[in-house]
């Protein structure tokens, strides 16, 4: 009896620890946790679009002439940084990290895309072309957006001296951040997109995943910004080969609060802008002068705008179907306008006007649109740029356009009057490269933009 | 017998007739040396005498055959019945106890340790100290009385139980709670305080290292009552009443000030965008009236009348009148125990029925049965179980919980009219717009807070079963084997029932209503209630095998244990939501989660909320442990302990799974030395210990991990996941060491006992959140950031100060804790990181300063012309708030005040006994720390309706800067100006205060005179208790209670009054 008990006890303890132990500890502590070793895991990371394809930079739009604030709404802006941004101050135009700013979300997405590429390599994940291609497009989209915000306009002659972005090529957080040159930044964007093109299918299951069409359209946008119209045209046409459907605005219900719906036929990539500060809620008002440029038969006048009781005008034509989270990704209308502009700039007036008319045909009341004509390419370009202004407002493109137009001599002076005081921003002013958040300069030691 | 008792109480020897003197001498059986400090008492624990240095004692009695009980710590209890008169003085020999150490031992959860032989720092609370307090939970009762334990409220809004301050920066700060043998996994409120026999707090490494990594913050071991031979019963009943809270401590802005601010903002068109917004956000009642007047819907006179009326409305009054009620808690408890020398059992039944200040209810039923069976000399067994069932249900809506916009309401909110009828309160959307939509087809869209709580209810039920068993087998003399097993099952069921009449359900249904052009309405969310269910089931299995060895030979004494343990805690949970619930027949409706629908008011396309989710967690641990002590000659003890743990925590490399812990200690009984002078001190022991542990945070792993969100993307229909942890190749283990030196003493007559401990903790490579260059994509990361040091004293004194007709027993707990950062690995910490948001105190990383410190921006007063606050930039006065609150201020330029955690704390409990009355008065104090008080934040006032009564004393005209520090109201939002003012030194206050914790008056009924058969009723006590009557003294002059200063809606609980009855028969 005694012996038996003793033996049992010893056996019990021994079994516990020498046999069962390692297997006992192999059980997963939480089924929802995993190491990102499979293709599905990495696709799941990229499909969480709130991490990678939302919160694109807002600072450019806040600085542009897409909207204005009433004095009361300006006074009601909670953060002084937002007020300073609105009046083009040279510094303290970004709230700090704890409150959130454009830099934070931009580089957060870059980190995630880099991590996915790192995982594919580290875990040797097979058949990962599509996922890798998506990550590359996200990187390029983010860098391109950031370059329009924090870098000067791209100029071939100064691209080796001008400050570019810190380019983070892997997810290691111990690598210090250093600003590249502007040429290196654009070269990286082009390299990523070109690498992505053969990896991606023409279209994805949803426009929340970057497709080949998105990569091509982004290349068209990059080359447009750089002033390389030949390449821009080339990639615009390639993108349109995959996706060229335009919405007929006659089919939209203008009684809906937001007649344009999320994921509509024109969207190529559903990437959206951060909502905060000046553009939050119903404060961003459309200038009367801009509203007045739409003809009464132009359906965009009704679809895009809402006139308040006090005659102020709000924009409601956002391609994500809501008031907030403006679409800054890609849509077919932009690609049509890029093709038209590039044709005009290369002297092909006929093709330029064909693309423009194809787009505008869908924007006017049925039967009212008379196709526009131009006698020469200069005239065509002027018409096209005017229509670009009217089609692509609140799409995160105006700041980029102002920079490149002024670089090419358009001489556009921006003016804002706040509480009786007038502020102006001269063409090619250093402040077109918005100040990098002060805490980032402090934490990383990177160079601030020249003021 | 009874006469003796009474006589002794009145004052022995004062009135003596028919008394006999008893004298005697007590010695140690082992060596015949006389024993001093031995207590001679009646069987009812009335102390008759204490032996002197020669072991001699004497007392007088009138009982011809008294039964006396002779006790001394570390010795077996001796009971004899005398036959008086005695022929010669008594000669009593006491034997030292090895096994029978129940009453004088400390429990670590692995072993019972004679106090005498321990080398570590323990403090203990006995059941009488616990029973003198009232309340549903055990935690407050421990914190009120145990040494070195406090409830910290300075760092965040959440009260935090702490043993000896903080030991970690990032890890959990709560001590491990052990009930009997195993860590307690469930809600600690399930423990009925009446089942507690004693509580031992393990404070230093020697005491707690047996518990491994989880002991880093100290261990609190709760030992429950055990069965005793012989039938005994105990019954207790209490009723506690608490008045309505008076809401006066809430620093709310006055209605008239608030309305004036709104008027001015309206005049400045501040609300124009909101009024015109296509999303129709909610407007305050005043803005709505102003707009009505502007559009000609009401006249200017009517506007004035209505505004003047609203200025007289105080929402706090409405809450007091219609929401709050006196609270009533009732507690009943019955305990039975009995058995023979072979088998003992204890059974108890407890019932708590609480109704809170808002009419919310809580019922708890606890039942418990424990058996001990001694089958033979060698074999014994314990088995038993415990069942707890608690149910709670929500009540009315408390202050701050009626929300109109974001998280707030206006101070003139009115939800009941003069006759107590419900009024509509604007919520979610513009009230006027809501009304314009109501064409008859929609549900009533109004919010009636006065009655809404009836239809929107939360209920939860928690059921817990604990089954435990253990067998002990004595293999050889001194060697025994033990196997213990415990199973715990806790099931939680929560229901949020938004009934069909609740605002939540009506609003949700209406918001998704689709109105077609012909005005027909389609409800995509079906009409009816919305119910959210949450269920979770936790099962914990603990298995422990252990060998104990206790052996005495000659002057040597060895006590050791070694064993291993496995533990598994498994939780499965799921949540569900039902729409269109008809409470009459429990029909539910179907909804479309896949497609977005335009919301009726805003036009935004949104998805119907899906709340189905399932979760599964399973944590497993394996541990090996050993612990030993050797004592020589009853004077010198050395001890050591070692433990390793492994777990399945995800992502850990196998090598990192085994964490080593060790400790070593020594003790010396100085008073037992021959050279020690006889006289004042009866016992004196010196102790010292050191322990070391290493820790890798389970959240910090060797690989990057991701966590699935549990839902599919609405775009792609595929799973989505986020990063959960980031691989950091530079990570090192966190290590910490703790040194303790202490002494225990008792005077010769045991009237004054006490202990003094000094401890020092050193933490290296501690984990903390590092603010990274967020170009890396990571804002904060857990990494090794600091080296810290903490030290302090724990003093415990227990004295019988007066021992005559009036007895005065006093317990004093005095603790100090000072910590500082010795080394901080990060470069250039940013100043605004140390200010924190609101009253939360962030971790500070400045060498020489405590981990939680109060820092503030230097204050330069108010600008005499504008009333703007003035700060400092590069040593010069400045109003550049962006630079001051941004990168313009370096951390070292901030003004440093001191620790945010009390550096001195403790309690004093005084018991006065006179005849049948006893009075307990408990006082707690917290000293040597600072807090940041709240004040007006103008941007939040304009935008979110968060007011503050400091507004009344704001700067308004030149000269005001001499009498106030509250900046002017500019009607121009500027968060950085507000952030600077709220983080400036002018708002920092001393936290020091002394609080009256509780008072208990107990009357012991003279049972002999009440009942003819006094044998049946042994003891009847009636008591009256007041808990938390308030602050006695505070250092701040603003009348702020530093324990209740968080947030603007913290309602201070009023004092609770209790009457109770406790009997034994």
Report the alpha-carbon distance of residue B298 to residue B304 in Å, rounded. 10
Give kind and range of the element (H or E) at residue B487.
strand B479-498
Q: Report the C-alpha gap between B511 and B598 in whole angstroms.
A: 9
pLDDT at A20 over 60: no
Between A101-105, B131-135, B570-574, B900-904, the lowest mean confidence (pLDDT) is in: B131-135
Q: Which residue of B has its CA nearest to A443?
A: B773
C-alpha–C-alpha distance, residues A178 and A397, integer Å: 27
For CA atoms B279, B282, B283, B289, give the dihedral sign: positive
B906's torsion region: left (phi>0), alpha (psi -120 to 50) or beta? left
Where does the pLDDT of residue A228 fall: very low under 50, low under 70, confident under 90, or very high at 90 and above?
A: very high
Is residue B634 very low, low, confident or very high in pLDDT (cuts 50, 70, 90)? confident
ipTM of the complex: 0.90
Contacts of B713 in chain A (CB under 8 A): 47-49, 206, 208
Q: What is the pLDDT of residue B99?
A: 37
Spatial distance between the Cα atoms of B916 and B1005, rounded to a whole number of angstroms = 7
Handedness of CA B185, B191, B197, B198 (dihedral sign): positive
Write out the H or E segment, with its range, that includes residue A72.
helix A71-75
Tokens of A98: 């704890």
pLDDT of amino acid B701: 56
Mean pLDDT of A255-265: 92
Instruction: State which H helix or E strand residue A333 sits in.
Output: helix A332-345
Judging contacts by C-beta atoms under 8 Å, the chain A residues touching residue B781 are: 173
Contacts of B543 in chain A (CB under 8 A): 16
Q: Quick: pLDDT tens for B468-524.
A: 999 999 988 889 999 999 999 999 999 999 999 999 999 999 999 999 888 889 999
pTM for this structure?
0.87
Check A45 against B723: CB less than 8 A apart: yes
Tally Cβ neighbours within 10 Å of residue B1059: 15
Flag if B596 and A9 touch (Cβ within 8 Å).
no
State the smallest CA–CA distance between residue B196 and chain A in angstroms.
Answer: 31
Between chains, do B648 and A28 touch, taking CB under 8 Å as contact?
yes
Shortest CA gap B715–chain A (Å): 6
Residues of chain B found within 8 Å of residue A323, distances taken between Cβ atoms: 278-279, 602, 604
Q: Which residues of B touch A281 (CB under 8 A)?
A: 273-274, 277, 279, 281
Q: Which of A418-432, B87-101, B670-684, B710-724 has the lowest average pLDDT?
A: B87-101
Look at B723 and A441 and tell me if their CB atoms are within 8 Å: no
- Cβ contacts of B272 on chain A, cutoff 8 Å: 70, 72-73, 310, 312
Q: Is the pLDDT of residue B653 over 60?
A: no
Q: Is the peptide bond before B492 cis (omega within 30 degrees of 0)?
A: no
Contact B777 A25 (CB under 8 A): no
Exposure letters B547-563 (e unless 16+ CB within 10 A, then b): bbebeeeeeebebbbbb
Lowest mean pLDDT, pick from A185-199, A323-337, B200-214, B572-586: B200-214
Per-residue pLDDT reduced to its tens digit, A310-364? 899 999 999 998 888 899 999 999 999 999 999 999 999 999 999 999 999 999 9
Q: At what angle do helices A129-150 and A398-407 cross, to 10 degrees?
A: 60
Smallest CA–CA distance from B772 into chain A, residue: A443
Q: Min CA distance, B317 vs chain A (Å)?
A: 31
pLDDT greater than 80 at residue B104:
no
* Per-residue model confidence as pLDDT tens digits over B970-1026: 999 999 999 999 999 999 999 999 999 999 999 988 766 666 554 555 788 999 999
Average the pLDDT over B125-133 and give the result: 87
Distance from CA of B972 to the nearest CA of A (A): 5
B944 touches A at CB < 8 Å: no
List all residues 6 or more positions away from B200 whose beta carbon is below 8 Å from its beta carbon: B106, B107, B108, B122, B123, B124, B220, B221, B223
What is the C-alpha separation between B525 and A299, in angstroms, rounded? 33
Of B279, B483, B710, the CB nearest to A9: B483
**How many CB atoms neighbour CB A257 within 10 A?**
19
Whether residue B285 has pLDDT greater than 60: yes
For chain A, helix, strand, coil in percent to 5 are: 50, 10, 40
Nearest-neighbour CA in chain B from A173: distance (Å) = 5
* Predicted pLDDT at B648: 78
Residue B254 in contact with partner chain A when CB distance is under 8 A:
no
Phi, psi (rounded to 5 degrees) for B151: -105, 115
> Across the interface, do A35 and B596 touch by the CB < 8 Å criterion?
no
Indicate the residue of B657, B706, B713 with minimum beta-carbon distance to A25. Answer: B657
Average pLDDT, integer, range A283-294 = 96
Place of tokens 């002068």: A289
CA torsion through residues A425, A426, A430, A433, sign? positive
Strand pairing class (B20-28; B90-94): parallel
- Cβ-nearest to A256 among B603, B705, B975: B603
- Distance between CA atoms of residues B722 and B193, nearest Å: 43
- For residue A32, the model assigns a pLDDT of 80
Residue with tokens 């252990």: B546
Identify any residues that bridge with B470 across adjacent strands, giving them in sequence order. B382, B484
Question: Closest approach of chain A CAs to the CA of B734, in angstroms?
Answer: 20
Residue B779 CA to residue B777 CA, distance in Å, equals 6
Q: Determine the Cα–Cα distance for residues B255 and B309; give it in Å rounded to an integer.
A: 10
- Hey, CA dihedral for A112, A117, A122, A125, is it positive or negative? positive
Region B342-359 average pLDDT:
95
Of B273, B274, B775, the CB nearest to A107: B775
pLDDT at B1016: 55
Give the distance, in angstroms, between the CA of residue B798 and the centroid of all CA atoms in the same chain: 25
- Cβ distance A30 to B650 less than 8 Å, yes or no, reads yes
Is B83 within 8 Å of chain A by CB? no
Tokens of B988: 């920092």
Asked if B881 contacts A80 with a C-beta cutoff of 8 angstroms, the reply is yes
> Is pLDDT above 60 for A123?
yes
B375 touches chain A (CB under 8 A): no
Amino acid B3: pLDDT: 43
| Average pLDDT over every residue of B193-218 | 85
Lowest mean pLDDT among B2-6, B452-456, B1048-1052: B2-6
Q: Is B649 on the interface with A (CB under 8 A)?
A: yes
Interface test with A, best of B273, B566, B618, B732 (most A CBs within 10 A): B273
More confident residue, A154 or B1050: A154
A-B contacts (CB, under 8 Å) = 288
CA B194 to chain CA centroid, Å, is 18
Neighbours of B264 (CB within 10 A): 12
Neighbours of B322 (CB within 10 A): 17
Distance from the Cα of B722 to chain A's closest Cα (Å) equals: 6
Residues of B in contact with A120 (CB under 8 A): none
CB contacts of A27 in chain B (<8 Å) are: 618, 620, 648
Spatial separation of the C-alpha atoms in residues B706 and B687, rounded to whole Å: 48
Do B647 and A111 count as a contact with CB atoms less than 8 A apart? no
> Hey, are the CB atoms on B837 and A98 less than 8 Å from each other?
yes
Across the interface, do B704 and A115 touch by the CB < 8 Å criterion?
yes
Inform me whether the C-beta atom of residue B942 falls under 8 Å from chain A C-beta atoms: yes
pLDDT at residue B772, as a whole number: 82
Contact B707 A255 (CB under 8 A): no
Distance CA B979, CA B932 (A): 13
Are A206 and B976 within 8 A, CB to CB? no
The pLDDT-based confidence of A18 (bands split at 50, 70, 90) is very low
Helices A212-226, A229-242: axis angle to 10 degrees equals: 160
From residue A362, how far is each of A318, A328, A382 by CA, in Å?
Answer: 17, 21, 20
Which region, left, alpha or beta, applies to residue A230 given φ > 0 means left and ψ of -120 to 50 means alpha?
alpha
To the nearest whole Å, the CA of A277 is away from the closest chain B CA by 12
- Per-residue pLDDT of B951-975, as tens digits, reads 999 999 999 999 999 999 999 999 9
Cβ within 8 Å, pair A79-B771: no
Q: What is the mean pLDDT of residues A237-246?
A: 98
Q: Where are the alpha helices (DSSP H) in A87-161?
A: 102-122, 129-150
User: What does the block give as tokens for B511?
Assistant: 């918001």
Q: Does the pLDDT of residue B14 top 50, yes or no?
A: no
pLDDT digits (tens, 9 = 90+) for A292-302: 999 999 999 99
A400 pLDDT more than 60: yes
Chain A positions touching B715 (Cβ under 8 A) are: 47, 49, 206-208, 263, 270
pLDDT tier, B609 (very low <50, low <70, confident <90, very high otherwise): very high
Q: Which of B620, B881, B971 sits opposite A27 (nearest CB)?
A: B620
Residues 6 or more apart from B173 whose CB is under 8 A from it? B160, B162, B166, B167, B217
Q: What is the pLDDT of residue A429?
A: 97
Q: Which two tokens stand for residue A211?
A: 């497709």
CB B843 within 8 A of CB B852: yes
Angle between the A212-226 and A332-345 helix axes, to the nearest 10 degrees? 40
Taking CB atoms and an 8 Å limit, are A110 and B777 in contact across chains?
yes
- What distance in Å separates residue A33's CA from the closest CA in chain B? 5
The secondary element (H helix, E strand) that includes residue B177 is: strand B176-179
For residue B548, give the H/E element and its range: strand B529-553
- Residue B751 CA to residue B335 CA, distance in Å, equals 32
Cβ distance of A24 and B648 shorter than 8 Å = yes
Query: Does A45 contact B722 at a Cβ distance shorter than 8 Å?
Result: yes
| B579 exposure class (CB count in 10 Å sphere: 0-12, 13-18, 19+) | buried
Q: Where residue B17 falls among pLDDT bands split at 50, 70, 90?
A: very low
Q: In A, which residues are within 8 Å of B836 by CB distance?
A: none
Inter-residue contact B123 to B129 (CB < 8 Å): no
b/e B722-744 (16+ beta carbons within 10 angstroms → b): ebbbbbbeebebbebebbbbbbb
Residue B693 has pLDDT above 80, yes or no: no
């Amino acid at each position: 009896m005694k012996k038996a008990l003793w033996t049992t006890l010893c056996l019990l303890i021994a079994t516990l620890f020498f046999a069962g132990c390692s297997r006992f500890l192999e059980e997963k502590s939480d089924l929802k946790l995993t190491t990102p070793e499979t293709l599905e895991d990495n696709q799941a990371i990229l499909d969480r679009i709130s991490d990678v394809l939302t919160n694109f930079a807002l600072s450019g739009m806040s600085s542009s002439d897409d909207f204005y604030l009433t004095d009361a709404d300006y006074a009601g802006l909670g953060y002084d940084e937002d007020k300073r941004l609105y009046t083009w101050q040279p510094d303290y135009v970004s709230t700090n990290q704890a409150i959130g700013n454009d830099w934070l979300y931009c580089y957060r997405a870059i980190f995630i895309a880099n991590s996915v590429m790192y995982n594919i390599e580290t875990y040797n994940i097979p058949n990962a072309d599509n996922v890798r291609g998506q990550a590359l497009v996200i990187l390029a989209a983010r860098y391109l957006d950031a370059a329009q915000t924090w870098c000067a306009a791209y100029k071939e002659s100064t691209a080796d001296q001008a400050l570019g972005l810190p380019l983070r090529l892997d997810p290691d957080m111990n690598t210090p951040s250093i600003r590249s040159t502007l040429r290196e930044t654009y070269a990286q964007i082009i390299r990523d997109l070109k690498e992505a093109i053969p990896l991606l299918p023409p279209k994805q299951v949803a426009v929340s995943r970057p497709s080949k069409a998105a990569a091509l359209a982004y290349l068209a946008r990059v080359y447009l910004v750089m002033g390389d119209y030949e390449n821009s045209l080339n990639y615009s046409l390639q993108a349109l080969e995959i996706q060229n459907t335009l919405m007929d605005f006659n089919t939209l219900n203008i009684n809906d609060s937001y007649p344009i719906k999320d994921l509509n036929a024109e969207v190529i990539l559903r990437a959206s802008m951060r909502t905060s500060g000046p553009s939050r809620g119903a404060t961003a008002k459309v200038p009367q002068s801009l509203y007045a440029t739409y003809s009464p038969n132009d359906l965009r006048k009704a679809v895009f705008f809402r006139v308040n009781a006090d005659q102020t005008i709000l924009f409601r034509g956002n391609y994500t179907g809501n008031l907030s989270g403006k679409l800054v990704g890609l849509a077919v209308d932009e690609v049509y306008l890029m093709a038209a502009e590039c044709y005009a700039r290369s002297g092909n007036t006929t093709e330029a006007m064909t693309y423009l008319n194809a787009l505008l045909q869908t924007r006017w009341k049925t039967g009212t649109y008379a196709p526009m004509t131009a006698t020469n390419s200069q005239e065509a370009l002027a018409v096209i740029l005017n229509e670009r202004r009217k089609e692509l407002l609140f799409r995160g493109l105006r700041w980029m356009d102002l920079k490149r137009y002024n670089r090419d001599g358009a001489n556009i002076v921006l003016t804002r009057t706040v509480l009786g005081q007038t502020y102006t921003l001269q063409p090619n002013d250093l402040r077109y490269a918005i100040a990098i958040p002060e805490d980032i300069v402090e934490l990383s030691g990177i160079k601030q933009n020249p003021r | 017998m009874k006469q003796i008792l009474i006589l002794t109480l009145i004052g022995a020897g004062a009135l003596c007739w028919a008394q006999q003197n008893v004298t005697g001498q007590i010695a140690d059986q082992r060596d015949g040396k006389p024993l001093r400090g031995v207590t001679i008492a009646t069987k009812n624990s009335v102390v008759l005498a204490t032996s002197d240095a020669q072991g001699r004692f004497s007392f007088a009695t009138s009982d011809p055959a008294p039964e006396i009980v002779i006790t001394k710590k570390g010795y077996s209890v001796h009971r004899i019945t005398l036959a008086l008169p005695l022929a010669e003085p008594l000669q009593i020999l006491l034997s030292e106890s090895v096994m029978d150490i129940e009453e004088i031992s400390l429990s670590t959860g692995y072993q019972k340790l004679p106090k005498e032989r321990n080398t570590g720092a323990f403090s203990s609370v006995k059941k009488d100290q616990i029973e003198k307090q009232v309340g549903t939970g055990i935690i407050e009762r421990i914190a009120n009385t145990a040494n070195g334990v406090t409830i910290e409220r300075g760092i965040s809004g959440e009260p935090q139980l702490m043993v000896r301050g903080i030991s970690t920066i990032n890890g959990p700060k709560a001590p491990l709670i052990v009930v009997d043998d195993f860590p307690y996994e469930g809600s600690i409120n399930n423990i009925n305080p009446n089942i507690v026999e004693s509580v031992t707090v393990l404070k230093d490494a020697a005491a707690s290292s047996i518990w491994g990594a989880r002991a880093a913050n100290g261990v609190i071991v709760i030992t429950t009552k055990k069965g005793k031979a012989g039938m005994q019963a105990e019954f207790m009943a209490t009723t506690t009443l608490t008045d309505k809270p008076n809401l006066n401590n809430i620093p709310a802005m006055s209605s008239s000030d608030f309305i004036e601010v709104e008027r001015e903002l309206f005049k400045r068109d501040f609300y124009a965008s909101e009024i015109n917004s296509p999303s129709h956000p909610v407007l305050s009642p005043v803005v709505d009236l102003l707009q009505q007047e502007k559009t000609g819907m009401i006249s200017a006179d009517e506007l004035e009348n209505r505004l003047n009326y609203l200025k007289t409305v105080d929402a706090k009054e409405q809450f007091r009148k219609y929401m709050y009620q006196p609270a009533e808690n009732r507690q009943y408890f019955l305990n039975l125990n009995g058995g023979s020398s072979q088998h003992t059992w204890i059974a108890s039944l407890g019932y708590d029925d609480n109704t809170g200040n808002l009419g919310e209810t809580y019922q708890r039923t606890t039942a418990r049965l424990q058996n001990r069976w001694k089958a033979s000399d060698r074999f014994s067994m314990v088995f038993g179980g415990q069942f707890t069932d608690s149910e709670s249900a929500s009540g009315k809506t408390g202050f701050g919980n009626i929300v109109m916009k974001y998280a707030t309401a206006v101070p003139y909110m009115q939800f009941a009219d003069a006759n107590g009828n419900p009024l509509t309160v604007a919520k979610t959307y513009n009230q006027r717009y809501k009304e314009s939509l109501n064409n008859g087809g929609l549900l009533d869209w109004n919010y009636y807070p006065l009655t809404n709580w009836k239809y929107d209810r939360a209920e939860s039920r928690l059921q817990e079963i604990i089954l435990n068993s253990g067998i002990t087998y004595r293999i050889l003399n001194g060697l025994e084997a033990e196997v213990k097993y415990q199973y715990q099952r806790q099931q939680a069921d929560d229901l949020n029932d938004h009934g069909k009449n609740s605002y939540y359900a009506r609003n949700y249904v209406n918001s998704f209503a689709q109105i077609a052009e012909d005005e027909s309405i389609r409800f995509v969310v079906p009409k009816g209630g919305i119910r959210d269910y949450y269920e979770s089931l936790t099962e914990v299995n603990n298995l422990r095998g252990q060998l104990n060895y206790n052996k005495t030979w000659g002057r040597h004494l060895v006590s050791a244990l070694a064993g291993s343990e496995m533990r598994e805690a498994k939780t499965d949970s799921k949540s569900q939501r039902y729409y269109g619930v008809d409470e009459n027949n429990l029909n539910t409706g179907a909804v479309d989660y896949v497609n977005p629908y335009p919301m009726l008011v805003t036009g935004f396309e949104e998805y119907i909320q899906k709340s189905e989710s399932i979760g599964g967690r399973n944590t497993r641990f394996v541990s090996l442990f050993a612990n030993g002590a050797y004592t020589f000659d009853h004077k010198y003890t050395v001890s050591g302990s070692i433990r390793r743990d492994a777990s399945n925590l995800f992502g850990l490399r196998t090598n990192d799974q085994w964490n080593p812990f060790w400790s070593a200690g020594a003790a010396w009984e100085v008073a037992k030395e021959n050279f020690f002078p006889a006289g004042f001190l009866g016992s004196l022991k010196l102790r010292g210990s050191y322990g070391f542990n290493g820790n890798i945070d389970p959240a910090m792993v060797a690989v990057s991990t991701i966590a699935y969100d549990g839902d599919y993307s609405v775009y792609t229909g595929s799973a989505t996941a986020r990063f959960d942890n980031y691989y950091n190749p530079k990570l090192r283990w966190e290590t910490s060491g703790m040194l303790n030196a202490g002494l225990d003493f008792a005077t010769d007559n045991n009237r004054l006992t006490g202990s003094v401990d000094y401890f020092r903790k050193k933490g290296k490579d501690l984990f903390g959140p590092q603010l990274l260059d967020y170009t890396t994509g990571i804002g904060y990361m857990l990494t090794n950031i600091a080296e810290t040091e903490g030290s302090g004293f724990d003093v415990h004194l227990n004295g019988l100060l007066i021992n005559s007709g009036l007895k005065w027993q006093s317990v004093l707990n005095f603790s100090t804790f000072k910590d500082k950062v010795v080394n901080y690995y990060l470069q250039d910490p940013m100043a605004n990181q140390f200010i924190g948001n609101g009253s939360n105190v962030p971790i500070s990383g400045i060498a020489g300063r405590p981990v939680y410190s109060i820092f503030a921006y230097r204050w330069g007063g108010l600008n005499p012309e504008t009333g703007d606050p003035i700060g400092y930039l590069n040593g010069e006065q400045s109003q550049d708030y962006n630079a001051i609150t941004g990168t313009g201020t370096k951390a070292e330029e901030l003004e440093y005040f001191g620790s945010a955690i009390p550096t001195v704390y403790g309690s004093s409990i005084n018991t006065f006994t006179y005849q049948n009355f006893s009075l307990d008065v408990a006082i707690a104090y917290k000293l040597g720390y600072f807090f940041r008080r709240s004040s007006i934040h103008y941007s939040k006032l304009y935008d979110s309706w968060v007011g503050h009564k400091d507004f009344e004393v704001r700067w308004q005209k030149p000269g005001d800067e001499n009498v106030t520090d509250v900046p002017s109201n500019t009607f121009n939002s500027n968060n950085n100006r507000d952030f600077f003012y709220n983080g400036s030194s002018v708002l920092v206050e001393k936290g020091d205060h002394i609080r009256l914790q509780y008072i208990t008056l107990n009357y012991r009924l003279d049972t002999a005179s009440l009942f003819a058969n006094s044998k049946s009723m042994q003891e009847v006590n009636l008591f009256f208790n007041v808990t938390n009557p308030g602050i006695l003294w505070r250092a701040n002059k603003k009348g702020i209670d530093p324990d209740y200063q968080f947030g603007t809606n913290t309602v201070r609980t009023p004092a609770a009054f209790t009457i109770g009855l406790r009997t034994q028969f």
